[in-house]
């Protein structure tokens, strides 16, 4: 749930998925043409690609990637000198004034913490740092260390002062981590730049957080592949089809390690301090807002199918695709209008 400075399983698969999509037309529904302008770079701890299909120029891409780097430089928990790093370093000491960007994203994350009763929690940083999944050298921590880290997690202990734009963590040792929401915010910010540059159609892929922007010249719908959780080659199990939208997935295949034959993934439970173990392997969100899709994919994964479906009722025109370890696919109400299952080894189930 944090920006990582090293390549992970998710990065590799996201990059492969994008490559396959561009090659076979999975994302855009057509092949890539010579006039398309594409840039790929490593930012936000992942491989990010922006493809301009209709409109825009090299300056558009430069501005978009500069915006992504600015967000990383403000919100990464793993880089020295960022605003999040300053907040964490001053936990229990004093408030830290932050940019409008950072204040907004923390506020939004705390809204999700309230909606999920803490299942989604931006103060999960102590657990993320302890498990260190995706950064190399991972191992299962001693239970006493897990309990100590869990005791430092609590979104109610995050104090926000809108008048001064200052953020304060009440307990020493607390740590914010915006890795489960910041990329969604970044995708929405790129969309604003595309609008300002009068781009008519584009694909934004921030390490698997996909936003398809505008409409294509031929007016055909966008097609976004959703990852097969068992595939090591970026293959998809189904297709989300529609107008401008964002598709964000959280799953056990993104970042993980194996110890004594057991897989430990990076989506951590604030209740137990351990990786979430509820039978789900991935949750994909199809929505208009990428920041909401990002937060919801993690929230619904942690909450599970029943509670996740209940939470989703608060978000109109937002759909979820749940996949469990038995290869059953559960769709939220209305999701069948935009998602088509194609992998024969999986089957639709009703909940």
- Which residues participate in the annotated binding site for Mg(2+)? 180, 294, 298
Pair type for strands 46-54 and 37-43: antiparallel
Question: Is 291 within 8 Å of 250 (Cβ atoms)?
Answer: no
Alpha-carbon distance of 295 to 297, in angstroms, equals 6
Which positions make up the binding site? 180, 294, 298
Region of residue 327 (left: phi > 0; alpha: psi -120 to 50; beta: else): left
The DSSP call for residue 142 is P
Nearest to 188 by CA among 45, 291, 285, 75: 291
Question: Is 182 within 8 Å of 190 (Cβ atoms)?
Answer: no
The SS3 assignment for 347 reads strand
CA distances from 86 to 91, 93, 108, 131, 174 (A): 9, 11, 19, 21, 12
Task: Give the 3-state secondary structure of 253-305.
Answer: CCCEEEECCEEEECCECCCCCCECCCCEEEEEEEECCHHHHHHHHHHHHHHCH
Beta bridge partners of 285: 248, 320
Alpha-carbon distance of 6 to 138, in angstroms, equals 13
């Amino acid at each position: 749930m944090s920006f990582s400075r090293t390549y992970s399983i998710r990065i590799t698969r996201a990059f492969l998925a994008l490559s396959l999509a561009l090659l076979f037309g999975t994302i855009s529904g057509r092949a890539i043409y010579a006039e398309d302008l594409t840039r790929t770079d490593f930012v936000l701890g992942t491989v990010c690609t922006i493809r301009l299909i209709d409109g825009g120029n090299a300056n558009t891409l430069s501005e978009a990637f500069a915006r992504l780097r600015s967000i990383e430089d403000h919100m990464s928990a793993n880089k020295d000198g960022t605003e999040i790093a300053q907040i964490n370093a001053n936990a229990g000491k004093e408030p830290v004034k932050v940019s409008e960007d950072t204040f907004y994203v923390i506020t939004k994350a705390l809204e999700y913490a309230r909606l999920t009763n803490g299942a989604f929690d931006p103060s999960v940083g102590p657990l993320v740092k302890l498990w260190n999944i995706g950064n190399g050298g991972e191992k299962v921590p001693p239970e006493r260390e897990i309990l100590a880290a869990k005791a430092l997690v609590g979104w109610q202990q995050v104090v926000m002062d809108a008048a001064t734009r200052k953020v304060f963590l009440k307990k020493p040792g607390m740590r914010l981590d915006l890795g489960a929401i910041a990329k969604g915010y970044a995708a929405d910010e790129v969309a604003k730049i595309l609008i300002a540059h009068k781009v008519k159609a584009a694909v934004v892929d921030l390490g698997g957080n996909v936003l398809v922007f505008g409409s294509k010249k031929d007016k055909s719908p966008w097609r976004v592949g959703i990852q097969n959780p068992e595939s090591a080659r970026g293959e998809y199990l189904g297709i989300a089809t529609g107008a401008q939208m964002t598709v964000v997935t959280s799953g056990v295949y993104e970042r993980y390690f194996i110890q004594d034959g057991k897989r430990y993934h990076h989506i951590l439970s604030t209740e137990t301090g351990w990786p979430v173990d509820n039978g789900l392997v991935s949750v994909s969100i199809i929505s208009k807002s990428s920041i909401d899709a990002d937060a919801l994919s993690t929230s619904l994964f942690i909450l599970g199918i029943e509670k996740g479906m209940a939470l989703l009722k608060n978000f109109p025109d937002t759909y979820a695709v749940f996949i469990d370890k038995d290869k059953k696919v559960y769709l939220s109400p209305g999701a069948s209008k935009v998602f088509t299952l194609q992998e024969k080894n999986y089957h639709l189930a009703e909940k």
